[in-house]
Amino acid sequence: MPASNLKSIGQWYRDIVIERAFLQALARTILLASLFYGPWAYGSTLPIRIDFLDDALLLGFGLHLLSLALERRFPRYPLLPTGCLVLLVLQASWMCFNAKSYLDDDFGEFVPLAQSFPNLTGSWDKAASLFTLKTLCAMAAAFLVASDLMADAAWKLRLWRTIAIAGCSVILYGLILKGMGPDSIFAMYQEKSKAIVPTFFGPYRYHANAGAYLNLVWPVLFALFIRSWRNRNDHIERAVWLCALVMGLAACFVNTSKAAAFITALMLVVAIFSFATFFRGNVTRSRPAARVLIVTFVLGFVAILIYGGITNHLQGRWNQMFTPDGAGDFHGRFVVEGVCLRMIPEGGWFGFGPGTFSKVFPFHTLDLGNQIMGFWVYAHEDYLQTVVEYGYAGTAIWSVLFFGSIIKAIFRSLQSSLRTNDRVIYRTTALALSGVALHSLVDFPLQIASIQLYVMVFFAYAWTTSGDAKNLPKSPRA
Q: pLDDT tens, 417-429?
A: 778 788 889 999 9
The DSSP code sequence of 223-251 is HHHHHHHTSTT-HHHHHHHHHHHHHHHHH
Q: Which of 404, 402, 401, 415 is nearest to 466 (CA)?
A: 415
Instruction: Quote helix, strand, coil % in the chain, to nearest 5.
Output: 75, 0, 25
**How high is the mean pLDDT of the chain?**
80
| DSSP conformational letter for 19 | I
Q: Which of 152, 148, 1 is nearest to 63 (CA)?
A: 148
| Residue 280, pLDDT score | 57
Residues written for the chain: 478
Distance from C-alpha of 462 to C-alpha of 426, rounded to nearest angstrom: 6
| Residue 204, pLDDT score | 87
Distance from C-alpha of 111 to C-alpha of 102, rounded to nearest angstrom: 5
Q: pLDDT tens, 243-292?
A: 889 889 888 888 878 888 899 989 988 888 888 776 654 544 445 555 55
Confirm if 476 and 231 have CB atoms less than 8 A apart.
yes
Distance from C-alpha of 214 to C-alpha of 217, rounded to nearest angstrom: 5
| Residue 403, pLDDT score | 95
Q: pLDDT tens, 64-111?
A: 998 888 888 888 899 999 999 999 999 999 999 998 888 887 777 888
Confirm if 112 and 101 have CB atoms less than 8 A apart.
yes
| DSSP conformational letter for 15 | I
Q: pLDDT tens, 195-224?
A: 444 567 888 888 889 999 999 999 999 999
111: burial class by Cβ within 10 Å (0-12, 13-18, 19+)? exposed
**Max CA pair span of the chain:** 84
Least confident of 16-20, 119-123, 334-338: 16-20
Q: Report whether pLDDT(41) > 70.
A: yes
Confirm if 148 and 76 have CB atoms less than 8 A apart.
yes
Confirm if 409 and 462 have CB atoms less than 8 A apart.
yes
Distance from C-alpha of 263 to C-alpha of 243, rounded to nearest angstrom: 21
For residue 402, the SS3 value is helix
- Show contacts of 287-290: CB within 8 Å, 24+ apart: 289/235, 290/238
Q: Which of 408, 428, 437 is nearest to 223 (CA)?
A: 428
